[in-house]
Amino acid sequence: MSLPDLNLLVTLDVLLAEASVARAADRLRLSPSAMSRALARLREITGDPLLVRAGRRLVPTPRALELRERVAQLVQDAEAVLRPAESPDLRQLARSFTLRVSDGFVENFGASLIARVGEQAPQVRLCFVQKADKDSAPLRDGAVDLETGVIDSSSSPELRTRALFRDRFVGVVRAGHPLGGGEMTAARYARGRHLQVSRQGLDKGPIDDALGAVGLAREVASIVGGFAAALALARGSDLIATVPKWHTGNLRAGMCSFALPFAVPGFVVALLWHPRMEADPAHRWLRDTVHEVCAGQLADAPATADWQDLAAPCPR
């Protein structure tokens, strides 16, 4: 079965609105002869003359009067479908977004993000789920709307990304730890007992590689799956946790942090989403909001680096 020429709906809409072949042709920028041919096709398809002469003007048939409002609505709906999506009314937006976030994100940025979203879009709900791996299937399948993480060679090339902030590792110990105060050296750091963070349970990582480059090695006393767990253990023991600085700011409150005394590459924490959500106005608003919250919170944070720059002193 052949499909009808849907362009004729626009032509019919204008013809019925103008009740004039000449005016309809002028409005659609067609010649009068082309419009006459289009009217002939419409008469053939509908089986109705649609417009008939009454003196010097054309008047609609009962069938044309029946079609006029329906056709106008169809054309308006089609134009709305093909028009770029408009910005949503955030006060009326009722939607739930799922964010799969890396360890420490909710603890550090979640409260500010929820407050900002609640202020702008009170009917929007955020659902945070823990990121257990780098599999992009949840984004691809639509189970997750946004994700945070570090972009590397294992990241899916199909995903869209936007940098949130640059982070680096710092060492963290409890208040009153034997390492507190004094000059921190690579040798002092390596002599301590350490916590290794690895979702896969690996006993070595980039910190061990960096120590190896200066001829040192550390003793890993325990392996945990996340930065929050590492900091909880360090808070109640003499173990040393090595965690991202900005990603764990709130989690490290009351503890002693120090810059690592050897070179370790920094990394960029980014926002990731699937291309099918790229043009969605509500999704775009949420992406911008997450970026603004992270940028604003880091701009307000004190610039800490070494022992003497810490907000809380580290007594011995």
> 274 lies in a domain?
yes
Q: What is the average pLDDT value for the chain, to the nearest integer?
A: 87
Q: How many separate domains does the chain show? A: 3
Q: Which residues pair with 257 in a beta bridge?
A: 172
234-292 residue pLDDT tens? 999 999 999 999 889 889 999 999 999 999 999 999 999 999 898 899 999 999 999 99
Q: Which of 82, 107, 125 represents a domain boundary (last residue)?
A: 82
Distance, in Å, from the CA atom of 311 to the CA atom of 110, rounded to the nearest integer, reads 22
Distance, in Å, from the CA atom of 287 to the CA atom of 300, rounded to the nearest integer, reads 20
> 87 lies in a domain?
no
Q: Does the predicted TM-score (pTM) go above 0.85?
A: no
Same domain, 202 and 278: no
> What pLDDT was estimated at residue 306?
41
Same domain, 174 and 253: yes
Same domain, 185 and 240: yes
H or E stretch including 209? Answer: helix 206-213
H or E stretch including 187? Answer: helix 186-191
Same domain, 211 and 250: yes
Same domain, 147 and 286: yes
Same domain, 50 and 24: yes
CATH number for the domain harbouring residue 239: 3.40.190.10
Same domain, 245 and 160: no
Q: What are phi and psi of 156, to 5 degrees?
A: -65, 130
57-98 residue pLDDT tens? 889 999 988 988 898 888 888 877 776 666 788 999 999 999
Distance, in Å, from the CA atom of 33 to the CA atom of 36, rounded to the nearest integer, reads 5
Higher per-residue confidence, 241 vs 306: 241
CATH number for the domain harbouring residue 62: 1.10.10.10
Same domain, 173 and 240: yes
Q: Which of 82, 112, 134 represents a domain boundary (last residue)?
A: 82
Containing structural domain, residue 280: 95-167+268-300
Same domain, 116 and 201: no
> What pLDDT was estimated at residue 2?
64
Other C-beta atoms lying within 10 Å of the C-beta of residue 277: 17
> 315 lies in a domain?
no
Distance, in Å, from the CA atom of 304 to the CA atom of 302, rounded to the nearest integer, reads 6
Amino acid in the structure at residue 283: H
Helix, strand, coil % (nearest 5) of the chain?
40, 20, 40
173-197 residue pLDDT tens? 999 998 877 789 999 999 999 999 9
Same domain, 282 and 148: yes
Same domain, 136 and 158: yes
141-172 residue pLDDT tens? 889 999 998 877 666 778 899 999 999 999 99
Same domain, 163 and 282: yes
